[in-house]
C-alpha cells in the first residue's frame, strides 16, 4: 500500500514546481507514512509516499529508476511473481540494486515495453516515465484492487492514487457531475470511469494508458477473463486443482518482510483464507473481527469464535455500536466522493485495530463474484425474465399510471413501492434489470429526492462502460452475471471499500481469492458446479470442506450486515440538513426519515446514502481538510 501521484505539462517550457508535487504527494501521506520522494524532469513531476512491505531498506525508495536514469517509476501494490521474473531479467542483462518488486517492473518495461503487463501477476497501479520518449505509461491491475485516478485537460495530464492528490492543482475544477450523482443514488457508489467531479476520471480494471508529449493519450484494456467451461474434468478433479492453486496463491500473498494478519468475518471466504494461512504459517495467525452489540441478528461473533478456536488464532474483536457512525465523515473524506457501502464503517475500525498488530491483512473479497455467492440475486433475475413477454406499450402505460399514483400516495404505500419497481424492471433490458436487483433508489424516488433541474439534465442509464461490459460478457447464463459482477461492483464497491479502509490506517490489504491463476481456472468450471436451485459457491464449499468447520460451510450466506435502520435517526441528520439545499429535496428526506422511524419498513440503506452525500457536500462547501483519524 503506497500513494503515487504526478503531473505532466504538455508545454515543454513549463517547469513543474516541486512545491506542487510535494503538496499532491502529502495528500496521500496516510497511504505511505514510511518514506516519501519526488522526481522532477522539467515539465514532468512524480511524487510518492511509501508503506514499506518488501525490502525495508533505503534501496526501496521511490521514485525509482533504471541503471542509467532514463526510466522512472512510482508504484503502488505488490507483484507476487517478482521472484520468478527477476532471474529471467538478469539473464537478459538487467542489473538490480534492490530486493523490491518495484525494480522488476522497471526492467520488465525496458525489456518488453507495454507488453510487460502480460508478465506481471499481482495488484498494482503504477506510472512509468520514459525520459527517452518523453512519455508516461500507466496501468491498473486486472481486477481493480489498487486505485488510480487522472485529470487530462488544460494542457495537463495528472494522476493520483486518490482524488485528493489532484485537487491541489489550480486548473482542476470541482464541478459536480449530475449524471454521476444520479448513478450514485442508484448504486450507493460511483461506477468507474466516473467520479463525482466532471473532469476527474478513474482508471478501469485492466486498463493501460500511454500519454505522449503532444498531449494525446491512448488507453486500452490489456486483459480480460476468458470464460470457456471445461466439462472434461470431474468435480473432484476441479476441487483438487483449486486447492493446489489457492495454496500457491496463499503462499505468495503471505510473503512480506512485516507482520501479516487476516480479516475474519465468520463467513466461508474469510474462514477459508484463515484455514489456508494457518496451514502455511508456522506461528498462530492474527485474526481481526467485528461484532454488533446493537443487533444480535447480524452479530457473527459465534461463527468467528468457531474459526478462531479451530485454528488457534491470535484473535482480536471490535464490538461495534451506533457510536461508530462518526467514522462516516472520515470515510467520505478518504474516498473524496460519496460512498455509502455501510460495511465500510465497521471495516475501518477493524483495520484500525489490525494496524496496531500487523502491516498487511488478507481479506476474503472476490469469492462471491467468482464462485456465485449471490444466489438470491441470480434466481431473482431468472424469475424476472417472464417480464419480457409483456409488450413495451403495456409497460409505458403502466409507467404513466404509477407516476400519477406515486405522486398521490408516495412512499407511504408499500404496494405502490413494489409496483413501481416491477414497472421499472419491465422497461429494462435483462442486464439492466439484473443490476437493478441490488440497487437502492428507483427512478421514481430519485425524481422526488433530487432538484428538478438535476433530474432534467440526467439520462436514466448506467453509462457507456456498463454497455461495453454487457457487450463483452458471455451471451447467456450464470457466467454472464458473474462477468458483469466481476467488471462492475467488485472494483467499484468491494475493492474500493477494502482499499480505502486499510489505507486510512496505513496498512496493506491483499485479496488471495483474486489471484490471477486461481480466478482464470475458476472461470473454466461448469456453472452447474457453482450454483443450484438452493445455494451458490458449491465447489468453493467443497474446496474448503477439508479444513473449514462444517458450521461455517453449511451455514446460509449472511453478508456483512450493518443495523442501519436503528442508526439512521432524525438526530443523526440534524447537523447536516439545510433549508436551501440546491441538490436535495428536504421535505422528501424528512418524509423517509419519518417512515424509517415510525413504521416497520427499513429505509436505513436509502438514508445512509443520503447521509454520506450530505457529509461530502458539507465538507466540499466548507473546504474541510482530511480529518485527523478518529
* pLDDT single digits (tens) 491-533: 999 999 999 999 999 999 999 999 999 999 999 999 999 999 8
Confidence check: pLDDT of 625 > 50: no
Q: Residue with C-alpha cell 465500510? A: 344
pLDDT value for 516: 97
Q: Residue with C-alpha cell 517492473? A: 105
**Mean pLDDT confidence for 530-558:** 91
Q: Residue with C-alpha cell 485529470? A: 151
Q: At what angle do helices 496-503 and 344-354 cross, to 10 degrees?
A: 40
Query: How far, rounded to the nearest angstrom, does the alpha carbon of residue 501 sit from its chain's CA centroid?
Result: 11
> Distance between CA atoms of 70 and 52, rounded to whole angstroms?
25
* pLDDT single digits (tens) 169-217: 999 999 999 999 999 999 999 999 999 999 999 999 999 999 999 999 9
* pLDDT single digits (tens) 552-611: 988 877 666 677 888 898 988 988 887 667 899 989 999 999 999 888 888 999 999 999
**Mean pLDDT confidence for 306-313:** 97
* pLDDT single digits (tens) 87-113: 999 999 999 999 999 999 999 999 999
Confidence check: pLDDT of 83 > 80: yes
28 vs 413: which has the higher pLDDT: 28
Query: How far, rounded to the nearest angstrom, does the alpha carbon of residue 58 sit from its chain's CA centroid?
Result: 31
pLDDT value for 342: 85
> Distance between CA atoms of 626 and 281, rounded to whole angstroms?
37
**Mean pLDDT confidence for 528-543:** 94
Cα-based angle 374, 428, 588 (whole degrees, multiple of 5): 85
Inter-residue contact 614 to 620 (CB < 8 Å): no
> Distance between CA atoms of 440 and 461, rounded to whole angstroms?
14
* pLDDT single digits (tens) 264-289: 999 999 999 999 999 999 899 999 99
Inter-residue contact 363 to 261 (CB < 8 Å): no
- Residue 272: count other Cβ atoms within 10 Å of its Cβ: 26
* pLDDT single digits (tens) 318-358: 887 656 667 777 777 778 999 998 888 889 989 999 999 99
**Mean pLDDT confidence for 115-132:** 98
CA-derived radius of gyration, the chain: 24
Confidence check: pLDDT of 70 > 90: yes
**Mean pLDDT confidence for 444-467:** 87
Beta strand pairing status for 3-9 and 44-50?
Answer: antiparallel
Inter-residue contact 347 to 498 (CB < 8 Å): yes
**Mean pLDDT confidence for 116-126:** 98
**Mean pLDDT confidence for 390-410:** 72
C-alpha cell at 177: 457531475
Spatial CB neighbours of 56, under 8 Å, sequence gap ≥ 6? 257, 258
pLDDT value for 630: 34
pLDDT value for 459: 84
pTM of the model: 0.93
Confidence check: pLDDT of 419 > 90: no
Amino acid at each position: 500500500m503506497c500513494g503515487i501521484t504526478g503531473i505532466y505539462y504538455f508545454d515543454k517550457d513549463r517547469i513543474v514546481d516541486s512545491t506542487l508535487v510535494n503538496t499532491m504527494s502529502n495528500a496521500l501521506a496516510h497511504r505511505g507514512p514510511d518514506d516519501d520522494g519526488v522526481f522532477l524532469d522539467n515539465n514532468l513531476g512524480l511524487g510518492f509516499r511509501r508503506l514499506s512491505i518488501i525490502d525495508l531498506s533505503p534501496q526501496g525508495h521511490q521514485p525509482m529508476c533504471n541503471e542509467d536514469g532514463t526510466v522512472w517509476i512510482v508504484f503502488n501494490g505488490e507483484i507476487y511473481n517478482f521472484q520468478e521474473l527477476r532471474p529471467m531479467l538478469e539473464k537478459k542483462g538487467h542489473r538490480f540494486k534492490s530486493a523490491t518488486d518495484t525494480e522488476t517492473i522497471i526492467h520488465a518495461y525496458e525489456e518488453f515495453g507495454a507488453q510487460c503487463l502480460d508478465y506481471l501477476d499481482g495488484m498494482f497501479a503504477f506510472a512509468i516515465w520514459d525520459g527517452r520518449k518523453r512519455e508516461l505509461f500507466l496501468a491498473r491491475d486486472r481486477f481493480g484492487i489498487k486505485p488510480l485516478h487522472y485529470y487530462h485537460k488544460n494542457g495537463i495530464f495528472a494522476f493520483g492514487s486518490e482524488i485528493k492528490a489532484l485537487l491541489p492543482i489550480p486548473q482542476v475544477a470541482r464541478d459536480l457531475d449530475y449524471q454521476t450523482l444520479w448513478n450514485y443514488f442508484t448504486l450507493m457508489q460511483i461506477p468507474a470511469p466516473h467520479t463525482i467531479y466532471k473532469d476527474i476520471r478513474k482508471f478501469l480494471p485492466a486498463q493501460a494508458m500511454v500519454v505522449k508529449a503532444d498531449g494525446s493519450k491512448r488507453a486500452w484494456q490489456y486483459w480480460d477473463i476468458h470464460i470457456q467451461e471445461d466439462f472434461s474434468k470431474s468435480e473432484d478433479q476441479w476441487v483438487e486443482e483449486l486447492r493446489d492453486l489457492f495454496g500457491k496463491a496463499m503462499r505468495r500473498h503471505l510473503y512480506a518482510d512485516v507482520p501479516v494478519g487476516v480479516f475474519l468475518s465468520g463467513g466461508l471466504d474469510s474462514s477459508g483464507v484463515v484455514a489456508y494461512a494457518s496451514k502455511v504459517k508456522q506461528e498462530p495467525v492474527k485474526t481481526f473481527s467485528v461484532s454488533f452489540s446493537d443487533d444480535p441478528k447480524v452479530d457473527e461473533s459465534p461463527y468467528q469464535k468457531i474459526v478462531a478456536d479451530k485454528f488457534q488464532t491470535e484473535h482480536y474483536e471490535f464490538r461495534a455500536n451506533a457510536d461508530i457512525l462518526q467514522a462516516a465523515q472520515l470515510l467520505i473524506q478518504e474516498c473524496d466522493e460519496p460512498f455509502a457501502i455501510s460495511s465500510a464503517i465497521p471495516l475501518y475500525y477493524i483495520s484500525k485495530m489490525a494496524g496496531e498488530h500487523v502491516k498487511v491483512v488478507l481479506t476474503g473479497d472476490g469469492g462471491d463474484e467468482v464462485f456465485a455467492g449471490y444466489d438470491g440475486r441470480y434466481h431473482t433475475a431468472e424469475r424476472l425474465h417472464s417480464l419480457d413477454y409483456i409488450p413495451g406499450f403495456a409497460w409505458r402505460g403502466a409507467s404513466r399510471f404509477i407516476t400519477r399514483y406515486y405522486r398521490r400516495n408516495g412512499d407511504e404505500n408499500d404496494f405502490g413501492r413494489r409496483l413501481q419497481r416491477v414497472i421499472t424492471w419491465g422497461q429494462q433490458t435483462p442486464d439492466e434489470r439484473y443490476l437493478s436487483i441490488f440497487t437502492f433508489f428507483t427512478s421514481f424516488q430519485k425524481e422526488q429526492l433530487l432538484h428538478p433541474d438535476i433530474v432534467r439534465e440526467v439520462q436514466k442509464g448506467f453509462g457507456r462502460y456498463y454497455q461495453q461490459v454487457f457487450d463483452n460478457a458471455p451471451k447467456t447464463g450464470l457466467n454472464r452475471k458473474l462477468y458483469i459482477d466481476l467488471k462492475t461492483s467488485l472494483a467499484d464497491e468491494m475493492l474500493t471499500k477494502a482499499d480505502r479502509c486499510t489505507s486510512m490506517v496505513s496498512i496493506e490489504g491483499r485479496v488471495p481469492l483474486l489471484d490471477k491463476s486461481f480466478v482464470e481456472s475458476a472461470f473454466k468450471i461448469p456453472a452447474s458446479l457453482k450454483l443450484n436451485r438452493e445455494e451458490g459457491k458449491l465447489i468453493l464449499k467443497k474446496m474448503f470442506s477439508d479444513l473449514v468447520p462444517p458450521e461455517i460451510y453449511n451455514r446460509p450466506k449472511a453478508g456483512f450486515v450493518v443495523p442501519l435502520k436503528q442508526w439512521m435517526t432524525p438526530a443523526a441528520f440534524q447537523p447536516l440538513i439545510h433549508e436551501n439545499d440546491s441538490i436535495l429535496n428536504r421535505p422528501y428526506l424528512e418524509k423517509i426519515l419519518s417512515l424509517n422511524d415510525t413504521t416497520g419498513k427499513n429505509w436505513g440503506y436509502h438514508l445512509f446514502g443520503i447521509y454520506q452525500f450530505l457529509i461530502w457536500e458539507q465538507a466540499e462547501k466548507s473546504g474541510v481538510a482530511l480529518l485527523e483519524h478518529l
